[in-house]
Amino acid sequence: MGQKSLYFFYFIGGLFLLLVGPQLFADGMFLDGVTYAAISNNLAEGLGSFWKLYYTATLYPEFYEHPPLALWLEGYLHFVFGSSIYVERCYSFFTAILTGFMIVLIWRQLGQAWTLAWVPLLLWLLFPKVSWSYSNNMLENTMGVFLCASVFFYLKSLTERRALYILLASFALIFGFLSKGLVAFFILSAPLWFWAIMHKETWSRAFIDIGAIFMGFVGFLALLFWIVPDSLNGLGMYFQFQVLHSLSDVITVNNRFRIIKDFFNESIINFVILIIGIGVFYIKSKTLLVFKPYLRTAVAFIALGLSGVIPIMISMKQSSYYIVPAFPFFAMGYSILLVPVASQVYKYIMDREAFTRTLRIIALSLCIGALGFTIYKSQTFGRDEAKLTMIYQFSKSIPPRTIIDMEPELKEDWGLHAYFMRYGSVSLDAKSFPQRTFYLCRNSEAMTDSTYLQVDESNGYYLFKRQ
C-alpha cells in the first residue's frame, strides 16, 4: 500500500475523531455511560467485586443488571490510571479503535484489497449511533470488539488451523457474552449464513462449527461455575433481574417493530451511498454484472447483521443503540457490494495528482481540525452543565463515600444518582424528613428542621447540613 493510499485512512481517522472526540471528551455523558463509569471506578477503589458489582450504597449496592467483563476491564484502567473522567473516555475511544482494526482484518480475510479497507470503516462510521455509542461509554462498544473478533477467527478457521480458530471464535463469543449478555449470541449464525449464501462450506460442517463454538462456550461456563462458584450466582442473578425482567415486565416502545424502524433510520446514509454508487456505475457502464461476484458475500454479511437486529423484537425493551454491535457487519456487506464502485473511485483519484494532493490537504486538515476541536470541547460541558456544576461545587463539602438525604421529588432523577457517585463517590437516599448530616433539595423553603443550616446553593439546588 503506497503513501498516497494512506490519505484515505487519514481522512477516515479525521472523520472518526470529529464525530466521536468532541462529544466524548466534553464533560457530561448519557446516563448509562455515567453509570458504567461509576461502577468501574468503584471496582478500582475496592467497592464491589467482579461477580458482585457495586453502584451506590442506596441504588443497586449489588449490581447484576449486566455481566461484569466490560465494567471490569474499564475498572482496571481506573485502577492503573486513577479516577479521572478521561479514563473511561479513553477506554471507550480505544474500543472504537480496536473495532475498526477488526473490521480491517475481516476485510482482508475476505480477500479484499488493503487499498479499499477504508470503505467499510467509512460506512461503519456513517451509522449515526456508532459515534453516539462510543461518545457515551456504552457496553456495546466492548462487546462489539469481541464479536468482530469471533467472526474474524471463524473466517480464519475456514482456511487454516480449523480447531484453533474455532476455539478462538468460541472464546471471543464468551467474552462478548460476559460484556453485555445474551445479545452476543447472534454471532452463532455466521456459519449458517456463510454456508447458505456464500457456499463457503458444506451444510454439515456449518452446523458442526456452530455446535463446536457453542459447546466451547458451554464448556467454558461449566468450568467457570466449578472453579468460581460466585460466577453461577452472578450470572443467575443477571438472568433473573435483567433477561427475564426485560422479556416480561419492561416496556420502552409501543410495538416490537420499533427496532426495525431504528435500523432503517440508522441506515439512510448508507442506503443513499449504495443507490447513488450503483446507479452511477450502471449509467456509465450499462451493466450490473460486475457486481455479481460480490453479491453472495455481501448478502451473507447483511444477513449476519440482521441476525443482530431481528431477535431484539422478542422484547418490548428496545433502544437503537442495542444494534450497534451489528453495524460492522452491515458496513462489511454494503462495502463488499460497492467494491467495483470504490475501485473506480480509488483509481480515478490515484491517477490524478491534483486529486491526491487535494485529498491529502483535506485529510490532514480534517485530522488537525478535529483534534483541535476535541481539545477545545474537553474544557467544556457537553450536557447537564447545571447539574454537573452543582455536583462539582457540593462535592467540596461532602466527604467521599457519604450517604446524603434528598427530597423525594429527586428520587427518580437517575442522572443525579449517577453523577454524584461518579464525581463525588456520594450516594443519595430519598427522605421526606432528613436524618443524615447532609440534605439535598430544590425547594429550600420546604426545609423546616431548625437543626439544618443551608451551606451551599447552585443552579436551583440547595445543600443543607445538620449543625
What cell was used for 389?
456544576
DSSP characters for 214-274? Answer: HHHHHHHHHHHHHH-HHHHHHHHHHIIIIIIHHHHT---SSSTTHHHHHHHHHHHHHHHHH
Residue-wise pLDDT tens digits, 426-465: 999 988 788 899 999 998 887 888 899 999 999 999 999 9
Residue 454 forms beta bridges with which residues? 464
Alpha-carbon dihedral angle through residues 438, 443, 446, 447, given to the nearest 10 degrees: 20
162-190 mean pLDDT: 92
Whether residues 335 and 391 fall in one domain: no
Give the per-residue pLDDT at 1.
56
Residue-wise pLDDT tens digits, 92-132: 999 999 999 999 999 999 999 999 999 999 999 999 999 99
Whether residues 236 and 350 fall in one domain: yes
- Among 177, 147, 114, 133, CA closest to 301: 147
Give the per-residue pLDDT at 5.
80
pLDDT at 2 over 70: no
Boundary (domain end) residue, out of 375, 399, 415: 375
Residue 391 to residues 61, 271, 420, 440, 460, Cα–Cα distance (Å): 21, 44, 6, 11, 12
Alpha-carbon dihedral angle through residues 125, 126, 132, 135, given to the nearest 10 degrees: 30
Domain span including residue 423 = 385-466
What cell was used for 334?
454494503
Which H or E run includes 370? helix 353-377
Whether residues 239 and 347 fall in one domain: yes
Domain presence at residue 110: yes
Whether residues 432 and 340 fall in one domain: no
Q: Phi and psi at residue 256, in whole multiples of 5°?
A: -70, -20
Q: What is the Cα–Cα distance from 331 to 346, expressed in whole angstroms?
A: 18
pLDDT band at 171 (very low <50, low <70, confident <90, very high): very high
Residue 193 forms beta bridges with which residues? none
Q: What is the Cα–Cα distance from 144 to 327, expressed in whole angstroms?
A: 9
Whether residues 63 and 185 fall in one domain: yes
Whether residues 41 and 189 fall in one domain: yes
Location of C-alpha cell 428542621: 449
Look at 467 and 57; give whichever has higher pLDDT: 57
By CB neighbour count within 10 A (0-12 exposed, 13-18 middle, 19+ buried), where does 186 fall? buried
Q: What is the Cα–Cα distance from 187 to 288, expressed in whole angstroms?
A: 31
Give the per-residue pLDDT at 255.
82
Strands 461-466 and 452-458, sheet pairing: antiparallel
Query: How many distinct structural domains can be found in the chain?
Result: 2
Whether residues 456 and 351 fall in one domain: no
Domain presence at residue 82: yes
Give the per-residue pLDDT at 177.
96
Location of C-alpha cell 466492548: 142
Residue 461 forms beta bridges with which residues? 458
Whether residues 204 and 238 fall in one domain: yes
What cell was used for 61?
449496592
Location of C-alpha cell 458451554: 218
Q: What is the Cα–Cα distance from 426 to 226, expressed in whole angstroms?
A: 36
Residue-wise pLDDT tens digits, 53-92: 999 999 999 999 999 999 999 999 999 999 999 999 999 9
- The answer to whether 331 and 118 have CB atoms below 8 angstroms apart is no
Domain presence at residue 426: yes
Residue 428 forms beta bridges with which residues? 404
Residue-wise pLDDT tens digits, 384-424: 999 999 999 999 999 999 999 999 999 999 999 999 999 99
pLDDT band at 366 (very low <50, low <70, confident <90, very high): very high
124-147 mean pLDDT: 97
Domain presence at residue 258: yes
Q: What is the Cα–Cα distance from 185 to 403, expressed in whole angstroms?
A: 40
User: Please, what is the Cα angle at 262 between 266 and 240, to 5 degrees?
Assistant: 125
Domain presence at residue 1: no
Boundary (domain end) residue, out of 321, 342, 375: 375
pLDDT band at 200 (very low <50, low <70, confident <90, very high): low
Q: What is the mean pLDDT of the chain?
A: 92
Q: 7 — alpha (psi -120 to 50), left (phi > 0) or beta?
A: alpha
Whether residues 404 and 360 fall in one domain: no
Boundary (domain end) residue, out of 326, 343, 375: 375
Contacts of 298 (CB under 8 A, 6+ apart): 333, 334, 336, 337
Q: Which amino acid type is present at position 248?
A: S
Handedness of CA 144, 148, 153, 154 (dihedral sign): positive
